[in-house]
């Protein structure tokens, strides 16, 4: 570690010792990046761009969705089915139809698509195209997180932090935010830094707090930038 950088962290740790634990927790909570659970943004796109027109996507999945899958591998492409469901949800090139989006995402989820599980959880949580079912929403969110969706990991961590639909558990919140943060999720990195700073769900660790806050700040996450500013640490 460079001498200047080490000096800044050492100075920051001295400042940290002068802050009462209750005050530290308050500062951290103020800077948690929280979204309204039940108002999440849908997963907008798969990790790769399919580059297909609406008609081509319809042609490629029609036989599978109708319940008569053929041998064409494209008819079982979970990402193509997912993308088509997104178009129906948004009304992009087709008539908006939440029920059709739901059907398509269920098919994509059956094929193991993490993003489809995530969007289904949002649908059930809000009652889009289906009867609202908070319990089913949590199950789908959990499955999406287990399949590696960083958005699902972030929102599952948020549920555990807030105690929304699950028992409040800071250790579980930390676990899921850590997984999302390791995938580069800026909001999870910001919250992880706040947890390391406040000692919620994990032992206090100032260098780790700064590491994750700085990573989030460098991605443009304003809350992390503001918290680093308060701590007197450059990002």
pLDDT tens figures, 132-167? 999 999 999 999 999 999 999 999 999 999 899 999
* C-alpha dihedral (159, 161, 165, 166), degrees to nearest 10: 120
Q: Of 168, 106, 97, 159, nearest to 134 (Cα)? A: 159
Q: What tens digit of pLDDT does each residue of 59-117 get?
A: 545 544 555 443 334 468 899 899 999 989 989 888 999 999 999 999 999 999 999 99
Q: What is the model's pTM?
A: 0.75
Same CATH fold assignment for domains 3-35+152-231 and 54-149: yes
What CATH architecture is 54-149?
Alpha Horseshoe (1.25)
Q: At what angle do helices 186-198 and 21-30 cross, to 10 degrees?
A: 170
How many Å separate Cα 215 from the centre of its chain? Answer: 16
What is the homologous superfamily of the domain 3-35+152-231 according to CATH?
A: Tetratricopeptide repeat domain (1.25.40.10)
Residue ranges with strand state E in the chain: none
């Amino acid at each position: 570690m460079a001498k200047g950088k080490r000096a800044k962290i050492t100075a920051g740790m001295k400042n940290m010792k002068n802050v009462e634990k209750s005050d530290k927790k308050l500062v951290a909570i103020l800077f948690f990046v929280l979204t309204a659970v039940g108002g999440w943004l849908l997963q907008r796109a798969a990790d790769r761009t399919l580059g297909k027109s609406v008609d081509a996507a319809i042609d490629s999945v029609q036989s599978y969705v109708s319940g008569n899958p053929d041998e064409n591998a494209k008819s079982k492409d979970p990402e193509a089915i997912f993308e088509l469901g997104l178009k129906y949800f948004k009304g992009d090139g087709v008539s908006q139809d939440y029920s059709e989006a739901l059907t398509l995402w269920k098919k994509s989820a059956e094929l193991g698509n993490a993003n489809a599980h995530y969007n289904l959880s949002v649908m059930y949580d809000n009652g889009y195209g289906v009867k609202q079912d908070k319990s089913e929403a949590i199950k789908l969110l959990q499955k999406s997180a287990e399949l590696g969706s960083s958005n699902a990991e972030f929102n599952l961590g948020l549920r555990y932090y807030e105690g929304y639909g699950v028992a409040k558990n800071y250790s579980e919140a930390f676990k899921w935010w850590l997984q999302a943060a390791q995938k580069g999720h800026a909001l999870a990195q910001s919250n992880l830094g706040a947890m390391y700073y406040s000692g919620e769900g994990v032992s206090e660790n100032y260098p780790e707090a700064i590491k994750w806050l700085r990573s989030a700040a460098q991605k443009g996450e304003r809350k992390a930038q503001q918290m680093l500013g308060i701590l007197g640490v450059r990002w």
